[in-house]
Amino acid sequence: MGELAADKHVKYIISVEKKKDSFESVVMEHLRLNGAYWGLTTLDILGKLDAVDEEDVISWILKCQDESGGFAGNIGHDPHVLYTLSAVQVLALFDKLDILDADKVSNYVAGLQNGDGSFSGDIWGEVDTRFSYIAICCLSILQRLDKINVDKAVEYIVSCKNLDGGFGCTPGGESHSGQIFCCVGALAIAGALHHVDKDLLGWWLCERQVKSGGLNGRPEKLPDVCYSWWVLSSLIMIDRVHWINKDKLVKFILDCQDMENGGISDRPDDAVDVFHTYFGVAGLSLLEYPGLKPIDPAYALPVDVVNRIFFSKK
């Protein structure tokens, strides 16, 4: 089994940041702020956040803010709750949350809550438990959870719970590991994990491990490095991570590395991208791989950053 090519992954992430005219950059231009979160969080887990120019990143993020208080994926685009969370997370990485008008940002997020407790992603109204997680995580980081009806938000998430113990994107929606992360993460942050049937969900989640050691997102699907994050973080939040074979998963993730140019792909020998590089490195961090900063499974930020938000006196 190979080792983590940490230095190569750092170089790869920085090269993606610089290649603004590449095909990938152009197709991803509207979601760049989300990409920045994945790339910068990976650098921080690898202990290399100082490899980027902090001032450049922060001044660009501030230009992505809309007058509503929400953030867009790039300058001149429309605001969305996902990019608003990414902006808040990246500022938290740099310990720069205090440059935000926290009330303005949180009023935007709170304004997206619907009467049944669910959240829309933006003014166009699509509802999904992803947006419940994003809103709750963002408001918690900004210490403004009191701006929403948390009980109703929890009630809506619980209404998306299925008989297999998992969660879907809306009531009756199929259980999927990505949505499970969102629902379990939101319930963890809201202090409402008692709504989860931990044994039933833990069983469904550990069944996601296939022969190669990788994890899939739902039954009969192919494994993908991204589920090392969605499944593993959920198992940790419900105290059932010892139900999977950690060594086999470490090997699967390491086998997805591009050992020459850096970066991690979804499956061995596929093309790498910044998202899967995050999912691989963050997954290894959850698996306590040596030399990596620990990451918080609910906030998806390094543990030292989360501790700084909630426990440091300013």
Residues lying near ligand GRG in the complex (CB under 6 A)? 82, 130, 133-134, 178-179, 181-182, 217-218, 221, 224, 226, 230, 300
Cα separations (Å) of 76 from 63, 69, 72, 187, 259?
8, 14, 8, 34, 37
Nearer to ligand GRG, 182 or 272 (CB): 182
Distance CA 282, CA 204 (A): 22
| DSSP track, 117-141 | S-BBSSTT--B-HHHHHHHHHHHHH
Tell me the C-alpha distance between 92 and 303, whole Å: 12
* Residue whose CB is nearest to ligand GRG in the complex, by number: 178
Encoded tokens for 12: 């790869």
Cβ 84 to ligand GRG shortest distance, Å = 11
Output 5 or 92, the one with its CB closest to ligand GRG: 92
Shortest Cβ 19–ligand GRG spacing (Å) = 24
Q: How far apart are the first and last CA of the chain?
A: 45
Q: How far is the CB of 231 from ligand GRG (least distance, A)?
A: 10
* Shortest Å distance, C-beta 283 to ligand GRG: 12
Residue 218 CB, nearest approach to ligand GRG (Å): 5
Q: Smaller CB distance to ligand GRG: residue 5 or 277?
A: 277
Task: Count the neighbouring beta carbons within 10 Å of the beta carbon of residue 143.
Answer: 12
Compare residues 17 and 224 and give the one whose CB is closer to ligand GRG: 224
Query: Which residue, 12 or 227, has its beta carbon nearer to ligand GRG?
Result: 227
Q: Which of 134, 136, 128 is nearest to 189 (CA)?
A: 136
Identify which of 191, 100, 193 has the alpha carbon closest to the alpha carbon of residue 142.
100
Q: To the nearest whole angstrom, how small is the minimum distance from the Cβ of residue 119 to ligand GRG?
A: 12
Q: How far is the CB of 43 from ligand GRG (least distance, A)?
A: 16
307-312 contact pairs (CB < 8 A, 24+) = 308/92, 308/95, 309/92, 309/97, 309/141, 309/143
Toward ligand GRG, which CB reaches closer, 13 or 226? 226
Q: Which residues contact 42 (CB under 8 A, 6 or more apart)?
A: 9, 13, 274, 277, 278, 281, 282
In the complex with ligand GRG, which residue's Cβ is closer, 254 or 301? 301
Q: Which two tokens stand for residue 48?
A: 């290399």
